[in-house]
Amino acid sequence: EYAVSILVCMAMTVSRKYHNHRDRHNRVELRNIQWAEQYKDLVDAYLVYGLHEQDGLVPEVHHNATLIRHGFIGASPIRPSVAISIRTLAVYRQTHRACPQLSVQAEVRKLCHLHKFTIAYDVYLEILNRVDARIWSAMNQDGPNDQLLRLCPACTYKLRDEAPLPFSLHCEMDGNNSLKRIDAVVRERCEHMDTRQPRGPFWVSQEEVDCFKDEVKVCC
């Protein structure tokens, strides 16, 4: 009788076992969607932080907006438990500009918050991009080519009596091998969905590039 009761309990436990059918391939995209809902408030809070008008009595819709008013960016769009100071993110940004070899991984290993630092840093860069967009819009210089028209063009001019060069133009391209998927036989990977697009006047979308794909001359 005792053994039968144990078997019945085990059967009931197995039948109530929870099976998680969620797919983690879109977790990055879901996180981006949650951040996108907050960016307007986050940019407003960042501008207030930049003016040193930190007023804790101002009600905020999102927790991260309150954190930014006090100089921090949360590592999660909903109920952040870890926050990175804006000063730390700004220091890494300037250090990375001076020394591109310094990766995020090398920088944050000493902070012991590798993944969460990367999330906060992405949000910090997005906030800066949106601040720049507001500035260009206020100056009526937010057209498709306004910034490029005001910048110094690449040095492709040919001078009179200039000695010819073996190559008229030298370009370099990263093969992006680090982002290529490893063969599933060696190590199977799950591709994460991420629909974010790069910003700035120097980035050209794939659709714009494809408009000129039939104009390339074939070299014999």
* 155-172 confidence digits (pLDDT tens): 667 778 888 888 877 777
Predicted confidence (pLDDT) per residue in 114-143, tens digit: 557 777 888 888 888 888 889 888 988 888
Residue 2 has pLDDT above 70, yes or no: no
Query: Regarding predicted confidence, which is higher, 129 or 75?
Result: 129
Query: Regarding predicted confidence, which is higher, 175 or 2?
Result: 175
Helix (H, G, I), strand (E, B) or coil at 85: strand
C-alpha angle 148-149-151 in degrees, rounded to nearest 5: 65
Contact assessment for residue 193 and residue 25, using Cβ atoms and an 8 Å cutoff: yes
Nearest to 114 by CA among 142, 82, 138: 82
User: Mean pLDDT over all residues of the chain?
Assistant: 73
Which amino acid makes up residue 194? D
pTM equals: 0.52
Helix (H, G, I), strand (E, B) or coil at 72: strand
What are the extents of the domains in the chain?
A: 28-139
Residue 84: its H or E element:
strand 83-85
Q: What is the dihedral of CA 58, 64, 65, 66, to 10 degrees?
A: 30
Residue 74 structure tokens: 């949360």
pLDDT band of residue 206 (cuts 50, 70, 90) is confident
Other C-beta atoms lying within 10 Å of the C-beta of residue 63: 16
Contact assessment for residue 149 and residue 99, using Cβ atoms and an 8 Å cutoff: no
pLDDT band of residue 57 (cuts 50, 70, 90) is very low
